[in-house]
Chains A and B, each alone.
Chain A
Amino acid sequence: MALLEVRDVTKVHHSGSAPVVALQDVSLDVDGGDFVALVGKSGCGKSTLLHLCGAMDFPSSGEVALDGQVTTKLNDAGLTRLRRDNVGFVFQSFQLLHTLTAAENVELPLLLARKPGARKIALERLRWVEMKDYADRYPHQLSGGQQQRIAIARALAGNPRLLLADEPTGNLDTSTGEAVLALLARTAHEFGVAVLMATHSAESAAFVDRTLRMRDGRMESAGVLS
């Protein structure tokens, strides 16, 4: 059984007058230590799939199971717990809290989960992303690449089994972007974390174990491990 199992998932949004099908019959498996890239144009459903995988939303039909727990069977508190214990997020625009220092940003998920030893773990993660010297800096005092490193350290703070990265290099120049991709690959391989990354950049192919192509809400290549 894979760590993340997505089976025949369809997601329909009802925000406007006509329903919009964001995902249709998508299936996917990701195992621990895998670095998987979801590639496709803007609006093809990559982010929606990440949100479903990260227990942020429910599918309209089909099933998402994370470490054997099916998200549709959980209430909001259960989803929060599942997310808190198993998932880390990395965003395109870093999404660091401006009111907190780098170390405090990394500590945040641990504090929210009421886990002890937050500072020690945060500093350890910062060291791992080579940002320990910047622990007391505020986000506006850091470059884009540095902020994304902090964001990765934050995503890893709670020892997640799945790390979801939504266009993590979208706001970075090429060389900084490559450094971040290398860091994500190292994360998958050294920590044994499953990394699922949404991207539209072709350069990521050199860093990932698998590339899955999406188009108009459908998976073009086989996402399920045989």
Chain B
Amino acid sequence: MNSHWLLFLRLIARPLASEAARTSLTIFAVALGVAVVIAIRLAGQAAAGSFHSSIESLTGEADLLITSPGGLDERVLGNLVQLPYSFHFSPRIEDFAWVNGKSEALPFIGLDLIGDHPQGEFGANLARGAESMMPADAIWVGKALGFHPGDHVRLLINDAFHTFAIAGILQAGSGQLTEQKVIVADIGLAQKVTGKSGKLDSIAVRTPAGESDAHWRNLLETRLPVSAAVEPQGARTQENRKMLAAFRLNLRVLSYVALIVCAFLIYNAIAVSVVRRRNEIGVIRALGGTRLLILGGFLVEALLFAIAGSAAGLVIGRLMAIAAVKVIGSTVRSLYVSSQPAPIHLTFAAGIIAAGLGIGISLLAALAPAFAASRVAPVDAMARGREEYTVALRSRRVFLWALLLFAVAAILCKLPPVGGRPVFAYFAVVVLITAMAMATPGVITFFAAIANRLVERVLRVEGLLALRALRQSIGRTSVLTAALATAVAMTASVGIMVGSFRETVSVWVNNQLQADFYLRPLGIPGPDRHPTMDPSIADRIERLSGVAGVDRFRAYRITYNGLPATLAGGESSRIEDSTTTKFLPGENRQEILSKLPTGDYAVVSEPFANKHNIHTGSSLRIPLNGAIRRFEVLGIYYDYASEAGSVVLDRRTLLKYLPDPAVSNLAVYLRQGTNPGAVRRDIDQIIGGRAVMVSSNATLRRGALQVFDRTFRITYALEAVAVIVAVMGIAGALLALVIDRRREFAVLRFLGAAQPQVRRIILCEAGLLGLLANGIGLVLGAVLALILIFVVNKQSFGWTIQFHWPVALLLAVLSGIYATTTLAGLFPAGVATRMDPIEAIHEE
């Protein structure tokens, strides 16, 4: 047998196998780290429906898509078909419907099924249905919706329920998986039920062969109103891709935290091996083993952990993705785009990337201890304790380097984003974690020096022994503390960031929502869908005696500079003290709101201003109703409703260009002293049979925070995994520590220590590790939170968040981590107490 293979089996594989529990813990920790990366990658892709815009469902083989904010006049189609080229035009209505008014918003697409057969597999399917005799209320539905031909279904569209007959089931072709949940109707019916008679949402165009799309695009633009846009098919998908980029990047970065924790643990596992096998290293070197052999041996050990961990991680990650996709999907839909999750595909590339990361990071982490092992002189290999002593001496110098790194991180935070991404801020986070890891030995030494007496008094001799052991094996203790501190820091920073964000949103919601009642269509609105209500509802409510005023708000999805946004019109300036919308510092709210209705003026939300580099006084060019309109920006207001951002005009200005009086939602203000119950009853009567939801102020506020909490569930889940990885690492490392210190525990038993006392020593060590990691992690976490709030968030999303300490949350999380870490000592403690002291003494 090959001698290297024999050496590998005897010196690497055999010791790993003999400590199955510790080996398994390390492998499982790597597996979890890799799994999180895989899960977030797969779930992110699936949840965003591969960025597919639901509204682009069934555009089939079209090359171009013609759209216009607020829709196109259908007469435009008449002009286009007269062009002397063999274009194929498919007029479309694009809206959303809710089955029985519940659950998710489904794309409701109107196509010309009679005059023009839609293209592609879907089209052929539809055509077959359309050719048969079909009732006037016929619709076709995607297979995933679970209906059968002949069924009748009640759909909520805008503020009304309609009953339709299912004429056929659409079979998705390959590459159209996201369209399994779609509803199709003939365009005439769709125009009628969506209230878009005489209008089209878009026209899909198949261009003739022979010329480039750009050529046909230019030609079409000459025949279209200036406000119409001719975009390549899939442009909105591209917009979504761009818009979701920051969200996905931040999620991915968070998923790497568990891997960073893994790196510490691999470093520790290999360092433990090195310390333990110093004698072996000495003997092997004395017998002629080369430095390279030693280096290679320890790297192979890390590789074993990495390969086994990555393989298990792929499987676990695939399973975790199923849960993650639900949470991420709900965030994507409530903050970004109505996109149905695509199936989860564990692609070869994703597997290679995650496994590569797992293996790469493991080898990198193992490099330092493996290299150190290869440099040990055979004579020194026998000197127990010398290495730890050297680490302690070095810790002061390293501490100074750590301080320098903190300064570097501060400078990195001041640098601007790269391509809209907070690249330098991420670097700063990595540098800070490195600095923290370097400062940890110094902190532990300092802690051990000042806490000696206190620990002895409180935890007695068991605590003292634990503290001394931690201090003595400072190299190992530092790595473990740094690993757990990283997880704690990330958890604390995300906790502080989310807590601050929540508090900011809570204050904003309270300021923003001043009306007594809010009305909106029953279907859940989203950033890219704005169902409407009959405008007469507002008029009738306004005439009620107890009502002081009604703010009619109408929103449209538009594209601005290649990114989706919301264009809206409101009447808040008409109603005195209707809202306390906060503008950026230095802007006069009263002045802005009184000027807004007097001309082509707009206010924009903070994320919109940041994304498009808009300032007060900037001019916005928005294509509306046949022309490019210019709006002067009067102010920038705080807004946390959508990341895409909004442009808000006065309602009269909006109606001037988009004369559709339907409203997206209404805010009803009551006169002082009015009985809200009585008005509510009147409103319910006015609504009659319409599917309109009336919410009280308190309900809406509560709902807003519920959406917020749901949005950030995934971030907590990611941090929880990092903490689990770290705690598992602690358990594994303590186990190693116990095995290494068999002799010491045996001596204690000889000296009269009872089993519970030995157990207490291990638990004290675990507890002290937890305490140190929590302390260091909390301090670092607060600093990281500042970076997340004021740099990463600002550069990625453009929101202003007020710093806030979520004390209760932090206390709960940190106590949980502390308790778990201490409990992680139970297993090693059990091992220690079960050891036979006589056997342990004799081994020496």
| Residue pair A98, B472 in contact (C-beta under 8 Å) | yes
User: Which of B469, B472, B757, B841 sits near A95, CB closer than 8 Å?
Assistant: B841
When C-beta atoms are compared, the residue in chain A nearest to B844 turns out to be A93
| Residue pair B460, A77 in contact (C-beta under 8 Å) | no
| Residue pair B842, A89 in contact (C-beta under 8 Å) | no
Residue B755 lies at the interface, judged by CB distance under 8 Å to chain A = yes
| Residue pair A91, B755 in contact (C-beta under 8 Å) | no
- The answer for the CA separation of A13 and B460 in the assembled complex, in Å, is 37
Shortest CB-to-CB span from A177 to chain B, Å, is 19
- The answer for the CA separation of A57 and B754 in the assembled complex, in Å, is 14
Given A108-B751, A114-B460, A158-B752, decide whether A99 and B384 contact each other with a Cβ distance below 8 A: no
When C-beta atoms are compared, the residue in chain B nearest to A15 turns out to be B839
Q: Which residues of chain B from 199 to 241 have any CB-CB distance to chain A below 8 Å in the complex?
A: none
Given A47-B842, A140-B385, decide whether A112 and B757 contact each other with a Cβ distance below 8 A: yes
| Residue pair A91, B841 in contact (C-beta under 8 Å) | yes
Residues of A in contact, count (CB < 8 Å): 29
| Residue pair B838, A112 in contact (C-beta under 8 Å) | no
| Residue pair A111, B461 in contact (C-beta under 8 Å) | yes
Residue A40 lies at the interface, judged by CB distance under 8 Å to chain B = no
Shortest CB-to-CB span from A42 to chain B, Å, is 12
**Residues of the A chain whose Cβ atoms lie less than 8 Å from the Cβ of B838:** 51, 56-57
When C-beta atoms are compared, the residue in chain B nearest to A107 turns out to be B461
**Residues of the A chain whose Cβ atoms lie less than 8 Å from the Cβ of B748:** 108, 112
| Residue pair A99, B754 in contact (C-beta under 8 Å) | no
**Residues of the A chain whose Cβ atoms lie less than 8 Å from the Cβ of B469:** 99
Residue A154 lies at the interface, judged by CB distance under 8 Å to chain B = yes
**Residues of the A chain whose Cβ atoms lie less than 8 Å from the Cβ of B577:** none
**Residues of the B chain whose Cβ atoms lie less than 8 Å from the Cβ of A85:** 752
Given A57-B838, A95-B747, A99-B471, decide whether A80 and B754 contact each other with a Cβ distance below 8 A: yes
Shortest CB-to-CB span from B621 to chain A, Å, is 73
Main secondary structure of the interface of B (DSSP, over half): helix
Interface centre among A47, A51, A97 (most CB of B within 10 A): A97
- The answer for the CA separation of A99 and B749 in the assembled complex, in Å, is 17
| Residue pair A113, B468 in contact (C-beta under 8 Å) | no
Shortest CB-to-CB span from B838 to chain A, Å, is 5
Shortest CB-to-CB span from A198 to chain B, Å, is 13
Residue A109 lies at the interface, judged by CB distance under 8 Å to chain B = yes
| Residue pair A80, B750 in contact (C-beta under 8 Å) | no
**Residues of the B chain whose Cβ atoms lie less than 8 Å from the Cβ of A95:** 743, 747, 750, 841, 844
**Residues of the A chain whose Cβ atoms lie less than 8 Å from the Cβ of B744:** 97
| Residue pair A99, B750 in contact (C-beta under 8 Å) | no
| Residue pair B750, A56 in contact (C-beta under 8 Å) | yes
| Residue pair B464, A111 in contact (C-beta under 8 Å) | yes
| Residue pair B747, A112 in contact (C-beta under 8 Å) | no
Between A and B, how many residue pairs show CB distances below 8 Å?
A: 70
Shortest CB-to-CB span from B750 to chain A, Å, is 5
Given A98-B384, A111-B461, decide whether A89 and B472 contact each other with a Cβ distance below 8 A: no
Q: Which residues of chain B from 829 to 844 have any CB-CB distance to chain A below 8 Å in the complex?
A: 837-838, 841-842, 844
Given A57-B838, A97-B747, decide whether A80 and B753 contact each other with a Cβ distance below 8 A: yes
- The answer for the CA separation of A113 and B752 in the assembled complex, in Å, is 7
When C-beta atoms are compared, the residue in chain B nearest to A57 turns out to be B838
* Mask: chain B, 304-341; 1 = CB below 8 Å from A; 0 = not: 00000000000000000000000000000000000000
| Residue pair B752, A83 in contact (C-beta under 8 Å) | yes
- The answer for the CA separation of A113 and B757 in the assembled complex, in Å, is 10
User: Which of A56, A100, A158 sits near B468, CB closer than 8 Å?
Assistant: A100
| Residue pair B460, A84 in contact (C-beta under 8 Å) | no
* Mask: chain B, 752-795; 1 = CB below 8 Å from A; 0 = not: 11110100000000000000000000000000000000000000
- The answer for the CA separation of A111 and B743 in the assembled complex, in Å, is 19
- The answer for the CA separation of A155 and B439 in the assembled complex, in Å, is 40
Shortest CB-to-CB span from A77 to chain B, Å, is 6
User: Which of A47, A99, A108 sits near B461, CB closer than 8 Å?
Assistant: A108
**Residues of the A chain whose Cβ atoms lie less than 8 Å from the Cβ of B757:** 112
Shortest CB-to-CB span from A86 to chain B, Å, is 10
Residue B465 lies at the interface, judged by CB distance under 8 Å to chain A = yes
Q: Which residues of chain A from 69 to 101 have any CB-CB distance to chain B below 8 Å in the complex?
A: 76-77, 80, 83-85, 87, 89, 91, 93, 95, 97-100
When C-beta atoms are compared, the residue in chain A nearest to B468 turns out to be A99
Shortest CB-to-CB span from A16 to chain B, Å, is 13
Shortest CB-to-CB span from B542 to chain A, Å, is 80
| Residue pair B461, A112 in contact (C-beta under 8 Å) | yes
Shortest CB-to-CB span from B448 to chain A, Å, is 10
Interface centre among B385, B461, B469, B837 (most CB of A within 10 A): B461
Interface centre among B744, B754, B837 (most CB of A within 10 A): B754
Residue A217 lies at the interface, judged by CB distance under 8 Å to chain B = no
Residue A54 lies at the interface, judged by CB distance under 8 Å to chain B = yes
User: Which of A89, A100, A111 sits near B750, CB closer than 8 Å?
Assistant: A89
Give A contacts to B, CB under 8 Å: 47, 51, 54, 56-57, 76-77, 80, 83-85, 87, 89, 91, 93, 95, 97-100, 108-109, 111-114, 140, 154, 158
20 contacts between A and B (CB under 8 A): A56-B749, A56-B837, A57-B838, A76-B755, A77-B754, A80-B752, A80-B754, A85-B752, A87-B752, A89-B750, A91-B747, A95-B743, A108-B461, A108-B748, A111-B460, A111-B464, A112-B751, A112-B754, A112-B757, A113-B752
> 10 closest Cβ contacts across the A-B interface?
A84-B752, A111-B461, A99-B468, A99-B472, A80-B754, A109-B751, A95-B747, A89-B750, A112-B753, A112-B752
User: Known contacts A76-B755, A99-B471; can you find 12 more A-B pairs with CB under 8 A?
Assistant: A56-B749, A56-B750, A80-B753, A85-B752, A95-B743, A97-B468, A97-B744, A99-B468, A99-B469, A99-B472, A109-B751, A140-B385
